[in-house]
Amino acid sequence: MHANIVVLPGDGIGPEIVSATLPVLEAIAARHGHVFSFQEHDIGGIAIDRHGEPLPASTLEAAKNADAILLGAVGGPKWSDPNARVRPEQGLLAIRKALGLFANLRPVRPHSAALGASPIKSELLEGVDIVVVRELTGGIYFGDKTRSATDASDLCRYTVAEIERVVRSAAALARSRRGHLTSVDKANVLETSRLWRDVTARIMREEFPDVTVEHQLVDSMAMHLLSKPRAYDVIVTENMFGDILTDEASMLAGSLGLLASASLGEGKTGIYEPIHGSAPDIAGKGIANPYATILSAAMLLRHSLGLEAEAAALEAAVSSALDDRVFTADLAAPGQAVGTTQAAQAVIERLG
Ligand code: ATP
Ligand code: MG
């Protein structure tokens, strides 16, 4: 196949991890007879410097015409003045919104070689394989806000349509995996959660009778995620609960440098990026862990290009590099670390 991939390196370690990942995608393309063309554009701080805005029109135009978007990271101390008119992170929010991306997927599958890096006991982590699907466009983050000298309010609102579309995509994902969906809400207290629960139950009954569904309250879910993480397959939840639970879930996997994400909408185009930030403390040193970006590229192959076998081969190659303890500094014992490009090269060598 021919795919047009827009590449947004961004700031900090973004350019390093993205340029280590492109040769990996090229190697996949060469092995499977595909042609991937990469178009690089600015987003975030670098776009503010070059174009005066974090999401230039040229970047958005290219993104709208792309089959998929691979992103590094945005932001850094240079642009973090709280009084600044524009901030790098606005570029990310704006592009997600413009592309209609409403579901953020974060897989958590702790690798045996990295289990020691998690604060959770290894025996609880073996075999854990979860995808958290966070709703991205609604809820309390986007509701009307008020503030006076004596009080403040944030409105939490969800429409039936917003709940339906994210539950459908999470349920379809569960169907392609182990067939179990856990929906997280706070239906004992919140009206939006009662709507969430009703809509979820109906969609599952009418459209996904083959997928089992379980409803959990967010407070007990926060506990179960650490005490019995193996019990979960796909977890779907609203925006704020998802924000909190995905950070919690990321601790199951050890290093931030191993965690990928995808932001998806109704169409095929999605944005794929590591969950970590721009890591200004290690930027420019060639030591950042590229695996989270490479695993994000595997999600790109799977979800935007429909190349499941290629995605699985890439994930297996990363796994094999980890088995062989090809570790960057965030995972390695002192003196044992490889650099960003060496780690990516190790993945290419293991593609078979
Ligand atoms: P943001 O606000 O952009 O999410 P953050 O404050 O959460 O950023 P990160 O940039 O994710 O922080 O970095 C947190 C810590 O993890 C830093 O010490 C950073 O160096 C480290 N880190 C993040 N990503 C990587 C990576 N790919 N490889 C190695 N270390 C990393
Ligand atoms: Mg962060």
Q: What's the mean pLDDT in 165-189?
A: 97
Structural domains of the chain ordered from first start: 1-111+254-352 (3.40.718.10), 119-252 (3.40.718.10)
Q: Atom 4 in ligand 1: which residue has the minimum CA distance?
A: 277
Please indicate whether residue 21, judged by its CB atom, sits closer than 6 Å to ligand 1.
no
Q: Counting ligands in written order, which one lies closest to the CA of residue 276?
A: 1
pLDDT at 264: 97
Q: Is the pLDDT of residue 352 over 90?
A: no
Residue with tokens 């695996």: 291
Rounded to the nearest 5 degrees, what angle is found at the Cα of 205, between the Cα atoms of 199 and 209?
Answer: 140
Check whether 299 has a pLDDT greater than 90: yes
- State the average pLDDT for the chain: 95
Beta bridge partners of 12: none
What does the alpha-carbon distance between residue 144 and residue 259 come to, in Å, rounded to a whole number? 32
pLDDT at 273: 97
Chain segment 89-130, per-residue pLDDT in tens: 999 999 999 999 999 999 999 988 878 777 888 889 999 999
Q: Enumerate the H helices of the chain as residue ranges.
A: 14-32, 45-51, 57-64, 88-98, 122-125, 160-176, 191-207, 218-227, 239-250, 291-303, 308-323, 340-349
217 pairs with which residues across the strands?
185
What value does the mean pLDDT take over residues 151-164?
97
Q: Does ligand 1 come within 6 angstroms of the Cβ of 278?
A: yes
pLDDT at 303 over 90: yes
Q: Which two tokens stand for residue 326?
A: 């090809």
Asked whether residue 212 carries a pLDDT value surpassing 90, the answer given is yes
Distance 281 CA to ligand 1 centre (A): 8
| Percent of the chain residues past pLDDT 70, beyond the cut | 100
Top-confidence residue, 233 or 82? 233
pLDDT at 326 over 90: yes
Q: How confident is the model at residue 255 (pLDDT cuts 50, 70, 90)?
A: confident
Catalytic, 247? Answer yes
Instruction: State how far the Cα of 263 lies from the Cα of 68, in Å rounded to an integer.
Output: 10
Q: Are 246 and 132 in contact, with CB atoms under 8 Å apart?
A: yes
CA 279 / ligand 2 centre spacing (Å): 9
Rounded to whole angstroms, the Cα distance separating 266 from 170 reads: 12
Confidence of residue 253 (pLDDT cuts 50, 70, 90): confident
Asked if 258 and 289 touch (Cβ cutoff 8 Å), the reply is yes
288 is in an annotated binding site: yes
Closest Cα to atom 29, ligand 1: which residue? Answer: 288
CB 137 within 8 A of CB 98: no
Distances (CA, A) of 164 to 80, 161, 169, 192, 271: 36, 5, 9, 13, 21
Would you say 96 is a known binding-site residue?
yes
pTM tops 0.90, yes or no: yes
277 Cβ below 6 A of ligand 1: yes
ipTM here? 0.94
Question: Ligand 1, atom 8: nearest CA belongs to which residue?
Answer: 277
pLDDT for the residue numbered 254: 76
Q: Is 281 in the pocket of ligand 1 (CB under 6 A)?
A: yes
**pLDDT band of 167, cuts 50, 70, 90:** very high
Residues listed for the chain: 352
